[in-house]
Structure 1
Amino acid sequence: MKKLYVIFCICLVIISILAFSSISFAKISDPIPEKIEKSKLAVGLQEIVQIPKSGTGRKKVARLNFLTHAGDGSGRLFVNDMRGKIYVILNGKASLYMNFKNVVCSNFSYETSQQGFSYFTFHPEFAKNGIFYTVHSEEKNNSIPDFPVTKRITDNKDNTIESSHHDVIREWKAANPAANTFTGTFREIMRIEQPYEDHNTGQLGFNPNAKPGDSDYGMLYIALADGGSNGFPVSDTDPLDNGQDLSTPLGKILRIDPFGKNGANGKYGIPGDNPFANDRNPKTLGEIWAYGLRNPHRFSWDTGSDRKMLIVDTGQAFIEEVNLGIKGANYGWGNREGTWVIDQKNENVLFPLPKDDAKYSYTYPVAQYSHHVPKDYPGFYGIAITGGYVYRGKAIPELIGQYIFADFGSDARFFHVPVDELVNGKQATIKELRLVDGKKEATFLQIIGSERSDVRFGIDEEGEIYVTSKSDGKVRKLVPTPKN
């Protein structure tokens, strides 16, 4: 009887463990079922300028990807066409600043949807030194990358294939920083081999809050996605496991000193206060500032309040993320998507976090939304997040302190969340920002007259926010709604 009782107790324990496991690791098909509510806040969109067409056939309009200012007090805006041009906008008119494609090299590659001349940023002392930075894609040819792909690359049938291309970061020095047409010199500072066509190098940027003498002043931040997938154009779950691999720059935010010399090729420096600058593992890259990211194509800093850095990360099959930028943080990809466990062999499956999740020390989003489509929603609900800015302008007082971002998929909804509510360990409530066309509420697609938006955000020196779209090649500005 005693043996039977012991066996009975053991069986009960096993059954309890199995039951607990099934509850703890139950599959989740709808992680955020709640609908994002529309806000009371509304903005208008004022057309500023049409950028000249650069393509052919149905894809004639300029592929606008980034808009920013030079921080030189000139009031100028700069916007890039991914096909290889930078335009300067002044007094509502656009003129060609530089034909990037002609200057760079014959290897310039821009035919696929995520390749081309992607991003640029101005050095904090551009007004004096004329220096700015760009990133673009090139055919490999005989160039040697500073960061080669060292893992086996496969197609969706597990056949070994060649890597896709190189992403190249260059430093430019304008002979006259005040001129509206570029003449000057350039040098290559970094070349990164990309395994697949998608998920390439994202935004370049300097912390606008850093002042001369600060350790962060003049340090260049570089967003790098995980390198794409063998299932392009629909990415698999980090097939090369780059997100958690500290020996590759892919799936990371890098931070470098562009004027230094101790980097991989002697053309840039590794700041001594980077989290892995003095790591004992020789394979760990000192350039890494944060890791575990899927596609962090946009980041920005709030210039008021707590001066938070905000990083958006495009999700896989379920979750779009807004993250706080934190030195040394591991954002979990490809083991986590949002605040859930992801099945690396099945992108359509999520699981709850395990009870011992704290031991992994992942940093989770402070705001997130899902691809879930409510029954009463007539279209796509969420596809891919595009990062924006915390509004610090003067034209729309009710928008001050709101982080403005959007989903650049088919429906192109605009969102906002108070930056003060973006706190680690909590999930801020996202609301949909209403758009007004004239005196009538409208969607962004209705405003631009297109079926797809590819919306992007930009900002000027006064903190006013701008909107661009690859669908019509126009630059627009957020403005107050008309008064009744």
Structure 2
Amino acid sequence: MIPKFIINMKKFYILFCVCFCLISIVALSNISSAQITDPIPEKVEKSKLSVGLKEVVQIPISGTGANRVARLNFLTHAGDGSGRLFVNDMRGKLYVINNRRVTVYADFKRLICSGFTYETGQQGFSYFAFHPDFAKNGIFYTVNSEDKNDNIPDFTVKKKIVNNKGDIIQSSHHDVIREWKADQPAANKFSGISREILRIEQPYPDHNVGQLGFNLNTKPGDVDYGILYIAVADGGSDGFPVSHTDPLNNGQDLSTPLGKILRIDPFGKNSANGKYGIPKDNPFVRNKNSNILGEIWAYGLRNPHRFSWDTGGEGKMLISDTGEAFIEEVNLGIKGANYGWGKREGTWVVEQKNENVLFPLPKNDSEYGYTYPVAQYSHHIPKDWPDYYGIAIAGGYVYRGKAIPELVGQYIFADFGNDGRFFHVPVDELVNGKQAKIKELRLFDGKKAGSFLQIIGNKRSDVRFGVDEKGEIYVTSKSDGKVRKIVRSPEYYKF
């Protein structure tokens, strides 16, 4: 006979298990009901505002087979009054456009030689920036990907890296920032010297160093004059069927440059490698008892591959941050800000072990001190739309040119995925703590209205934006290697 106290214990255990299961079911039910599947169900409205696209030049082909066209990634001016435009092919060449004539300014693949790599779509010669005194000092900066070889990075990956099988793997490559000094700044062919100022080890092949840039709203004597901003992505994805969100937790780690906006003085010497300076007014200036990087200006970003400053109005800095599975962001650049990645995507909580899961913000969210986007759109596929709505944001510029009066003060950007839609939002409505209303910009090719995909004749846009000295905006695409200028459309709607 089984003792009575054992029978009672069994009854208690069974009752406990039943209660635990019921509580678990209720808890899981609550989580499931709270999960967000369509964070922004509203469709972006088409605007009455429209623009035209006018072809300027075709950049020479540089590849083979189906991917022969030049991989254009960035276009800008030298700020030297020459009116020249510069555009890069990620396979290594920087071109100068002078009076619609295209010539090679520099072949960095040849100049760098050892280790230059463009193995993936996000690697290669990706960005460049001219020093605001380029006309006098001939100095500009580049970032490119390189094989690791025997080079020692200034910033190493200190965490375990795994592949899509869960195996521990070696880091992918290095991203290298160099300073170049042209002997003759006005020349259309580079001749001069260079020096390496910063080398960052990258854990995965994607999400690398993004744009380099100077705040052109400043003048000599200002604390921000000649200070170089560097956008650095979070280091990439582990590639699982369901990827971890920021697998190395770089976004919130202030001991790594990954997932940050860095701010350095390229002429300074007080960095760890002695090749650049760390401005004293940076928000996280390093001290002897801390592993926090003084180079960090802002953090919590996934892939901030583009930023720009409005050259009018309040001179706002705008950072576009490419989302994971749901949200594309436009952020105000704010010193010391934490934009939330990989705890947040847009204005939602993102699941740490599954980037495909979002939840609403908690009631005590203000305690975390995150800075949220001032405009955002989603990846959802509306039932009445046959194609994608969004894949990845292509950050642009606030229009301050004179050719299109109705466009002045509008922040122009796009999605460079399969849809290729262009958007705009008034810069005055981009205010921290609020969500500005995005509208879709209508496009014309000559007198014919059409999508950007129709204009370039391709299924993927890979659109990028550039700007000239007069504030006119240009458009490039990796899909056809052409440079186009945004011009006034056949319609003259006032916004």
The answer to whether the aligner puts 1:433 opposite 2:441 as a matched pair is: yes
| Paired positions, count | 470
SS in structure 1 of the partner of residue 356 of structure 2: strand
Offset, 1:204: 0.1
The answer to whether the aligner puts 1:98 opposite 2:143 as a matched pair is: no
The answer to whether the aligner puts 1:188 opposite 2:199 as a matched pair is: no
Q: CA RMSD in A?
A: 1.8
User: Which residue in 2 is equivalent to 1:201?
Assistant: 209
User: Which residue in 1 is equivalent to 2:369?
Assistant: 361
- 1:257–1:268 contact (8 Å) kept in structure 2: yes
Offset, 1:378: 1.8
User: Which residue in 2 is equivalent to 1:133?
Assistant: 141
The answer to whether the aligner puts 1:83 opposite 2:91 as a matched pair is: yes
The structure-2 alpha-carbon separation of the partners of 1:372 and 1:133, relative to structure 1 and needing over 3 Å to count, comes to same
Offset, 1:237: 1.1
User: Which residue in 1 is equivalent to 2:458?
Assistant: 450
Cα distance in structure 1, aligned partners of 2:371 and 2:109? 39
Partner amino acid, structure 2, of 1:183? S
Q: What stretches of structure 1 move > 6 A for 4+ residues in a row? A: 18-21
Offset, 1:373: 1.2
State the identity %: 78
- 2:227–2:264 contact (8 Å) kept in structure 1: yes
The structure-2 alpha-carbon separation of the partners of 1:343 and 1:400, relative to structure 1 and needing over 3 Å to count, comes to same
The match for 2:353 among 345, 370, 377 is 345
The answer to whether the aligner puts 1:301 opposite 2:303 as a matched pair is: no
TM-score, normalised relative to structure 1: 0.95
- 1:197–1:232 contact (8 Å) kept in structure 2: no
- 1:167–1:194 contact (8 Å) kept in structure 2: yes
- 2:458–2:479 contact (8 Å) kept in structure 1: yes
User: Which residue in 2 is equivalent to 1:159?
Assistant: 167
The match for 2:482 among 449, 474, 480 is 474
Cα distance in structure 1, aligned partners of 2:108 and 2:239? 31
Partner amino acid, structure 1, of 2:120? T
User: Which residue in 1 is equivalent to 2:131?
Assistant: 123
The answer to whether the aligner puts 1:168 opposite 2:176 as a matched pair is: yes
User: Which residue in 2 is equivalent to 1:275?
Assistant: 283
SS in structure 1 of the partner of residue 66 of structure 2: coil
User: Which residue in 2 is equivalent to 1:8?
Assistant: none
Offset, 1:376: 1.1
Cα distance in structure 2, aligned partners of 1:444 and 1:234? 32
The match for 1:65 among 73, 77, 82 is 73
Offset, 1:142: 0.2
Runs of 5+ consecutive residues of structure 1 not aligned to the other structure: 1-10
The answer to whether the aligner puts 1:284 opposite 2:295 as a matched pair is: no
Cα distance in structure 1, aligned partners of 2:242 and 2:479? 21
- 1:373–1:381 contact (8 Å) kept in structure 2: yes
SS in structure 2 of the partner of residue 52 of structure 1: coil
Cα distance in structure 1, aligned partners of 2:88 and 2:242? 26
User: Which residue in 2 is equivalent to 1:262?
Assistant: 270
Task: Please list, as runs of the form range in 1=range in 2, the aligned pairs for 1:3-14 lying within 5 A after superposition.
Answer: none
The structure-2 alpha-carbon separation of the partners of 1:416 and 1:279, relative to structure 1 and needing over 3 Å to count, comes to farther
Cα distance in structure 2, aligned partners of 1:396 and 1:451? 29
Partner amino acid, structure 2, of 1:254? L
Cα distance in structure 2, aligned partners of 1:66 and 1:368? 23
User: Which residue in 2 is equivalent to 1:251?
Assistant: 259
TM-score, normalised relative to structure 2: 0.92
Offset, 1:439: 1.8
SS in structure 2 of the partner of residue 446 of structure 1: helix
Residues 76-123 of structure 1 deviation map (CA, whole Å, 9 limit, x = unaligned): 000000000000001111111011110012210012111000000000
Residues 325-376 of structure 1 deviation map (CA, whole Å, 9 limit, x = unaligned): 0000000000000000000111111000000000100000000000011111
SS in structure 2 of the partner of residue 348 of structure 1: coil
Choose 331-340 or 153-162, whichever is displaced more.
153-162
- 1:44–1:438 contact (8 Å) kept in structure 2: yes
The structure-2 alpha-carbon separation of the partners of 1:391 and 1:232, relative to structure 1 and needing over 3 Å to count, comes to farther
Partner amino acid, structure 1, of 2:91? R
